[in-house]
């Protein structure tokens, strides 16, 4: 149902991120480098250690994901690149402090550990829409609370899972393990979340909204509560245009106004974006 629509949404989000990056200041995270140690544990051999650096967080995700995925492939592993990418991107929350990526079990287990501040609410961290992104991190990543959920979906499609634990001495350990058989094609589609099944037995309704309005919806989800001026600033449009777009989203039931007039995402809006995000997983 969402195949062509999700492609549009992905393009909208990429454009949206590009705009956000252009607005970010040249300081803080943008100036800091990022370093990881990648350790491959071959069966019956000595560990192979590779040190990889990136100039800044913007280039880190692509570079680190490429190196880790290549090493997984070299040893015949099945951990999906999509899962690796989302977990690597999440390292921005740890400031890339003390990062070690371990590749084990013939590339079927990728364990990413850091010495950052840790994850306070591990029971919710893979819940769609739950984000602990700081304002600095939001300049570099989506910040809509989808990353680890996408990592989990991709791993499940490959017959695996994602687990999150506390690291010894502080920090977090995220493990992507693909140890089972890959589901058959007819069984590979993940089951809809119970809440979505209950509310939308035939799937989340498709909404006739423009690409710009899709960006505005993402902005509402990302920021939690917005007025027209926030949307106008993020999307580089006039305040009057932002107001009209928010009104359209409200008419469709995707956002709702609070007492101050600011818009919050509605359950339908959240579910619609979740359904679209789920279609991005390969």
Instruction: Tell me how long the chain is.
Output: 282
Rounded Cα distance between 261 and 8, Å, is 29
Handedness of CA 136, 85, 64, 165 (dihedral sign): positive
CA nearest neighbour of 96 among 73, 74, 113 = 113
pLDDT at residue 84, as a whole number = 94
Tokens 């999440």 -> residue: 90
Q: What radius of gyration, in Å, describes the C-alpha atoms of the chain?
A: 20
Please check whether residue 131 is in contact with residue 143, taking contact to mean a CB–CB distance below 8 angstroms: yes
Q: Which residues of 130-144 are buried (b: 16+ CB within 10 A; e: fewer)?
A: ebebeebbbbbbbbb
pLDDT tens string 30-72: 445 789 999 999 887 789 999 999 988 778 888 999 999 999 9
Question: Which pLDDT score, from 0 to 100, does residue 216 have?
Answer: 86
User: Model-level pTM?
Assistant: 0.57
Asked if residues 134 and 112 have their Cβ atoms less than 8 Å apart, the reply is no
Other beta carbons less than 10 A from residue 246's beta carbon? 26
Model confidence over 192-228: pLDDT tens digits?
444 444 455 556 677 788 888 888 887 888 777 889 9
- Span 239-247, average pLDDT: 92
Report how far Cα 230 is from the mean position of its chain's Cα atoms.
Answer: 22
pLDDT digits (tens, 9 = 90+) for 101-136: 999 999 999 999 999 887 766 665 565 554 554 444
Domains and CATH numbers, the chain: 1-28+192-282 (1.10.10.10), 32-187 (3.30.565.60)
User: From residue 182, how far is each of 80, 152, 217, 277 by CA, in Å?
Assistant: 11, 14, 35, 22
Q: What pLDDT sits at residue 247?
A: 92
pLDDT in tens, 166-184: 998 889 999 999 986 655 5
Helix residue ranges per DSSP H, the chain: 3-23, 57-74, 81-89, 135-138, 147-157, 194-199, 211-223, 228-235, 239-251, 267-279
């Amino acid at each position: 149902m969402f195949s062509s629509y999700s492609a549009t949404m992905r393009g909208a989000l990429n454009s949206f991120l590009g705009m956000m990056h252009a607005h970010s200041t040249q300081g803080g995270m943008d100036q800091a480098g990022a370093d990881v140690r990648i350790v491959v544990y071959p069966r019956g051999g000595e560990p192979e250690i590779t040190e990889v650096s990136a100039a800044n967080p913007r280039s880190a995700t692509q570079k680190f994901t490429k190196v880790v995925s290549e090493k997984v492939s070299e040893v015949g592993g099945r951990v999906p690149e999509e899962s690796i990418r989302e977990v690597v991107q999440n390292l921005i929350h740890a400031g890339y402090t003390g990062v070690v990526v371990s590749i084990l079990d013939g590339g079927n287990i990728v364990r990413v550990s850091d010495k950052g501040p840790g994850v306070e609410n591990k029971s919710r961290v893979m819940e769609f829409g739950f984000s602990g992104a700081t304002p600095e991190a939001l300049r570099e990543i989506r910040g809509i609370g989808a990353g680890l959920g996408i990592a989990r979906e991709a791993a499940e499609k490959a017959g695996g899972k994602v687990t999150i634990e506390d690291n010894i001495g502080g920090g977090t350990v995220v493990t992507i393990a693909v140890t089972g058989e890959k589901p058959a094609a007819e069984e590979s589609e993940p089951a809809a979340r119970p809440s979505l099944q209950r509310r939308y037995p035939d799937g989340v309704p498709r909404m006739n909204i423009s690409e710009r309005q899709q960006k505005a919806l993402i902005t509402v989800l990302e920021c939690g509560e917005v007025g027209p001026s926030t949307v106008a600033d993020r999307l580089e449009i006039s305040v009057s245009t932002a107001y009209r777009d928010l009104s359209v989203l409200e008419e469709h039931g995707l956002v709702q106004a609070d007492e101050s007039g600011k818009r919050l995402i509605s359950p339908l809006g959240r579910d619609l974006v979740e359904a679209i995000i789920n279609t991005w997983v390969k």
